[in-house]
Structure 1
């Protein structure tokens, strides 16, 4: 059972910003949103479109919250809102231009990145990878909150991020040094397995704290331990939004081809054509485990942080410390980072009997059917 949103403290913007950023007085903060037509930020015209719920929450909760007390309470400056054009894909580079609420056209590299110390980005498509690259170049900090909704506000953004960080560190330390991970799947009676090599690497964590002067971008909600695999072999199930399901074959560290299980063959053919034309799009660039007890929110930015879930990702990995940035792709539109989440509330058609870690001579069971297995329970001090 997942906790209900009502089990969490009331959302407090001041507490969230203070805990995550520990902002210094007079630091300048800016809010970014993506829009199909970014010019509609002028006069807040986008608020007339009910489909733009993420952007509306950015305005109502964060923009208005900063204006009406939180900015002054924390000693911050700015609080401006800017819009850019939707990128059309997860973690694609942002356009060069943005617009302010007066309708002025601005350039990110000239007018925004050098001017602000903190950025909060609310969007349909994740901007974590491109903002991470720009943070390193311009020296700012920030957070991406793509897919924000009211469940996330009431739960994943209302937690104590000091506690989130501590729990993520426990699991990070417990997984560090792993040689490989093995995932067992079963879908419609078909057993599959995927092996991800990690070559003894230190695990990394997404824990929500972004303090000090070091440039960085965090996901909010946070709560994840992850690796950038050095190799991958096997297969995994993949589902498109229309319900088409395929089995994706992996070797040499990359997804190579999908086999239709049921649904629309055209979907699978298009996917296979993309892999053939731009092989980097199939690179297995992440293995991640959720570390928090949260309710499902219907948005991967929170759902992949839930303890018991796990995800892999294909494509871009430079924002995670991996080798693949936009230049590795033959077509710029393919330079995405695409998370593939496995969770009982999102992929009930996929059984996940076990996820195991191998380190030296030891094999540890991490998860069993989307529940913490013996090793995770040991690390977290649980008996169940």
Structure 2
């Protein structure tokens, strides 16, 4: 195995003392809700019959939904709604989509099993919607927020580590740090990433950014503008205008592939180690529906957080970066579900590069070009001096 060093950032996260999760503080900081705002919670279930009588509470496979009930629903009912002068507090369930950021079904149920419509009964009637789910709902919920005028947050994959670290932080501070790093990277022309493999080979991918304004996921969703925060937050991101080169990908079964990128799209995968059938399956998907290979995001983490085992938090860790394939309309891009050959392919899938996730290759270096300025952003999963100086600035 490659001996990629444990980053100083991650080491400090392990010993950092986080405050206890506080639903009042989280909702107050993120939304600053005004008097009488109506709030609800959405969960996803494989079978809606599990909602009736709260049957999902007895299913060990529904840990995320159980946390939604325990920490959010019960937290709202046990004082937080009164403290924030909120109304509502109901919980609803819809059928799991089966993929990250796939369009949501319209049918949902309340906790008595009554069938309702998200578009008729939920979206128009709530001011704040929290989606605490297995599969990310950020892209579709953002589109519905703009259509129906609500604000919200998506918190897919929530676990105990996330509750007591990524959701327990001060989001005013998170927002300030994200803005410092955004300013350090905004209007970049391109970013190059060198990946070092165990066999000594170095793969390089160049992402063209065309001087665009960098965006940030900073956790604050205040005011009256319809918007959806992705929590935990803490990220600076771009929508690439093109890309060329190669990068490694670790598949779910541990297989490692070498991906070739041309004109902003993955065109093929080649086996480095593992299961050839996994590579063949990916190549068949790229051939059948080429939009599944389009690179729709380049993101950089901005927070000092412990590894949670869930990408929703781990991609927000300072010193990591990630690419994403698929739809990017919720990020200001132009790739929409309608452009995919098959509906189930219209996902937004993050590919995270982090020591715990990809120990068999190293991020040797990430470089930014902005006009005549050239800066090193990351080396060996550690933020370089340029980013650390940006964070230290007043």
Q: TM (normalized to structure 1)?
A: 0.98
Quick one: distance in 2 between partners of 1:330 and 1:237?
A: 26
Structure 1 window deviating more from structure 2 (279-288 vs 262-271): it is 262-271
1:367 is aligned, of 332, 353, 378, to 378
Structure 1 residue 280, shift from structure 2 partner: 1.0
Alignment: residue pair count: 382
341, 345, 358: which one aligns with 1:334: 345
Aligned to 2:309: 298
Distance of 2:14 and 2:364 partners within structure 1: 26
Matches within 5 A, 1:39-58: 39-58=49-68
| CA contact 1:192–1:236 (8 Å) conserved in 2 | yes
Structure 2 contact 48–113 (Cα < 8 Å) conserved = no
Q: Corresponding residue for 1:205?
A: 216
Paired position in structure 2 for 1:265: 276
Separation of aligned partners in 2, 1:80 and 1:60 = 13
Partner of 2:334: 323
3-state SS, counterpart of residue 50 of structure 1: coil
1:10-62 Cα offsets, whole Å, 9 max, x none, are: 11100100000000111110101111112211111101111111111000000
Task: Provide the residue aligned with 2:87 in structure 1.
Answer: 77
> Taking structure 1 as reference, are residues 5 and 106 closer, same or farther at Cα in structure 2, changes over 3 Å only?
farther
Match of 1:354, SS state, is strand
Query: Would you say 1:307 and 2:309 are equivalent positions?
Result: no
CA contact (8 A) 1:313 1:337 kept: yes
Q: CA deviation at 1:63?
A: 0.4
User: What are the within-5 Å matches in structure 2 for residues 176-195 of structure 1?
Assistant: 176-188=186-198, 189-195=200-206
SS at match of 2:124: coil
Give the alignment's TM-score, normalised by structure 2: 0.95
- State the shift of 1:71 in Å: 0.7
Q: Distance in 2 between matches of 1:77 and 1:380?
A: 39
2:180 aligned partner: 170
Counterpart Cα distance in 2 of 1:374 and 1:6: 21
**1:142 alignment partner, one of 132, 152, 159:** 152
Unaligned runs of 5+ in 2: 1-10
Q: Distance in 2 between matches of 1:236 and 1:125?
A: 25
- Mark the runs of 5 or more structure 1 residues left unpaired by the alignment: none
Is 2:75 the counterpart of 1:62? no
**Alignment partner, residue 257 of structure 2:** 246
> 1:208–1:220: 8 Å Cα contact kept in structure 2?
yes
Distance (Å, rounded) in 2 between the aligned partners of 1:139 and 1:219: 17
Question: Displacement, 1:374?
Answer: 2.1
2:189–2:371 CA contact under 8 A, matched in 1: yes
Q: Deviations over 1:306-362 (max 9, x none)?
A: 000100000010000000011111111000000000011211111111000001112
For residues 391 and 82 of structure 2, the distance between their equivalents in structure 1, rounded to whole angstroms, comes to: 39
- Tell me, in whole angstroms, the C-alpha distance in 2 between the residues paired with 1:350 and 1:217: 34
The Cα of 1:2 is off from its aligned counterpart by 3.8
Following superposition, the deviation at residue 5 of structure 1 comes to 7.5
Shift >4 Å, 4+ stretches = none
CA distance in 2, matches of 1:347, 1:114: 42
* Residue 154 (1) aligns with residue 171 (2): no
**What is the deviation of 1:108?**
0.9
- State how far apart, in whole Å, the 2-side matches of 1:124 and 1:36 are: 10
